[in-house]
Chain A
Amino acid sequence: MYTRVALLCLGLSGAAVIASAQAVSAQAADQATLDLGKKEESRSCVPCHSLRLIHSQRLARGAWVKELDKMAGWGTAIKDRDALLEYLVANYGNDKPIPAPDMTRNGK
């Protein structure tokens, strides 16, 4: 009885360890992709417009795909497109809260 319980615990904790390791691995891979995506955003988007235009949006993956298609059609050479898409979906997906916009300073 004790042995079975102990084994069960071991089994569970073993599974948890494996799952945790996988999560860390997946997260690490994702983080690398996200970092690459962020870098690509600076490289390909900033020459034409500031990032507020992107960061104020909350779009589903399909809508981000369309935006990238549109920008590519307008002459943007996107090098790491997959990474950029993952970065946009992860940070500005339609499941994320809507940010409060900034105010400009008084220009008068």
Chain B
Amino acid sequence: MFAAFLAAAAARPIQSADDAITVAGKRPMILHNDRPEDLETPLRYFDTWVTPIDAFFVRQHLPRPAAIDPAAYKLTINGMVSKPAELSLADLQKLPQHTVPATLECTGNGRAFYTPKVPGIQWGRGAVGNAEWSGPRLSEVLKLAGVDTGAAFLEIDGADTGVAATPDFVRSMPMAKAMHPATLLALKMNGQSPDIHGFPVRLIVPGWDGTSWVKWVIRLTPAAGESKGFFMNPGYRYPKFGLPPGSPPKPAELEVIEGMPVKSSLTSPEDQSKIALGPTVIRGFAWAGEKAIERVEVSTDGGSRWRDAQLSAQKMLFAWRLFTLNWTPADPGYYTILSRATDTAGRVQPIVPAWNPSGYLWNGIDRVGVTVEKG
């Protein structure tokens, strides 16, 4: 766990001009891949409840689609509907606009902490962010097309397409979640254009894993059954029953991931950093999928004693809470700091999250080491 985190924390500036990567609109980010873009947020940017767009992580499965002309944009609604429709951006803008603050986390955030290693982007703590998403409710958009009552699932397609025979990025979700009042087609992110995060229309599925939040939405298709594409099966599935670490998955026992688990991450001080002896503030954030955060405890002695951290005021479903703990170490030396969140459903972060073949849903009690030095 520490080695992987150290690697992320110690991300080095690019030395050669030949391989320097700049992503328009983004501050310096941890670069996992540039084509397509996979960018992780450095922990030092996590100092606000709303994560600014210029610091928000990026996860692309496929190359970004060609720039979409807002005037030419069409959202197709077909399948099990009584009135198949093609909606313009103006049509979506005319519907009542709602704002939902929600935390978006890549399903593989924290993958680097699993042992043994699994394939995939080796995310540390920063494939997560909290934003205010605004747009019409998905339920109100679907009503315009008259959804058949027999449609149990909604298939969603984004404008991004794969190279060669790479599967198209198509997801589906139960109609009950699609019709939830907090599920939106976001036209704005923090009051601005979502840009690289799915301009002009991004699906917002509060509390669910990032893979469900389809970008550049161009088609909605109510259907009787779940979509069978790669990104639903075998992609993005999680073992129903615990597996010995390193063992192969049993395909029949893999399930679609929906709501996310309870989790906290320490953002300051950073792992293996040095701080001066004296008062300091331990900081972090915690979130709980479709639940709210009830409590965050912090230990500064490796877990022998725990203290309740102060939580930011916004106790709401779907969005994270920031936490702080004032700490004045008595002595210089090395300290192991831990954080442990509990949600409103009583779920508590585990010491050891369940290993799984794709490295999803890491939510172990967070842990950093810090050296306190005499000033």
Show the binding face of A for B, using Cβ within 8 Å: 47-50, 52-53, 56-60, 63, 66-67, 73-76, 94, 97-108
Supposing A47-B163, A53-B33, A59-B117 touch, asked if A103 and B12 sit within 8 A by C-beta, the answer is yes
What 1/0 mask marks residues of chain B from 20 to 61 whose CB sits below 8 Å from any chain A CB? 111111111111111110111010000000000010000000
Q: Which residues of B contact A103 (CB under 8 A)?
A: 11-14, 28-31, 42
Distance A50 CA – B101 CA, assembled complex (angstroms): 34
Given contacts A47-B163, A106-B22, 9 further A-B contacts (CB under 8 A): A59-B119, A76-B164, A97-B3, A101-B122, A104-B22, A104-B39, A105-B20, A107-B22, A108-B26
7 A-B contact pairs sorted by A residue (CB < 8 Å): A59-B117, A75-B164, A101-B7, A101-B40, A104-B23, A106-B22, A108-B25
Nearest CB in chain B: distance from A89 CB, A: 13
Q: Which residues of B contact A49 (CB under 8 A)?
A: 33, 35-36
Show the binding face of B for A, using Cβ within 8 Å: 3-4, 6-8, 10-14, 19-36, 38-40, 42, 54, 112, 116-122, 162-167
CB within 8 A of B121: which of A48, A56, A59, A105? A56
Per DSSP, chain B at the interface is loop
Nearest CB in chain B: distance from A61 CB, A: 12
Nearest CB in chain A: distance from B167 CB, A: 7
Q: Which residues of A contact B162 (CB under 8 A)?
A: 74
In the complex, are the beta carbons of A52 and B31 less than 8 A apart? yes
Supposing A76-B164, A98-B7 touch, asked if A104 and B28 sit within 8 A by C-beta, the answer is yes
Nearest CB in chain A: distance from B209 CB, A: 20
**Residue of chain B at shortest CB distance from A59:** B119
Distance A101 CA – B38 CA, assembled complex (angstroms): 11
Please give me the 9 A-B residue pairs with the lowest Cβ-Cβ distance, nearest first: A75-B165, A75-B164, A50-B35, A48-B163, A105-B22, A107-B26, A53-B33, A102-B31, A74-B166
**Residue of chain A at shortest CB distance from B26:** A107
Distance A19 CA – B21 CA, assembled complex (angstroms): 46
Supposing A52-B32, A105-B14 touch, asked if A98 and B23 sit within 8 A by C-beta, the answer is no
Distance A67 CA – B357 CA, assembled complex (angstroms): 13
Q: Which residues of B contact A52 (CB under 8 A)?
A: 31-34
Distance A101 CA – B265 CA, assembled complex (angstroms): 20
Q: Which residues of B contact A98 (CB under 8 A)?
A: 3-4, 7, 112, 122
In the complex, are the beta carbons of A99 and B34 less than 8 A apart? no
Distance A12 CA – B35 CA, assembled complex (angstroms): 54
Q: Which residues of A contact B33 (CB under 8 A)?
A: 49-50, 52-53, 56
**Residue of chain B at shortest CB distance from A49:** B35
In the complex, are the beta carbons of A100 and B25 less than 8 A apart? no
CB within 8 A of A74: which of B23, B32, B116, B167? B167
In the complex, are the beta carbons of B21 and A48 less than 8 A apart? no
In the complex, are the beta carbons of B7 and A94 less than 8 A apart? no
In the complex, are the beta carbons of B117 and A94 less than 8 A apart? yes
**Residue of chain A at shortest CB distance from B5:** A98
Nearest CB in chain B: distance from A108 CB, A: 6
Nearest CB in chain A: distance from B35 CB, A: 4
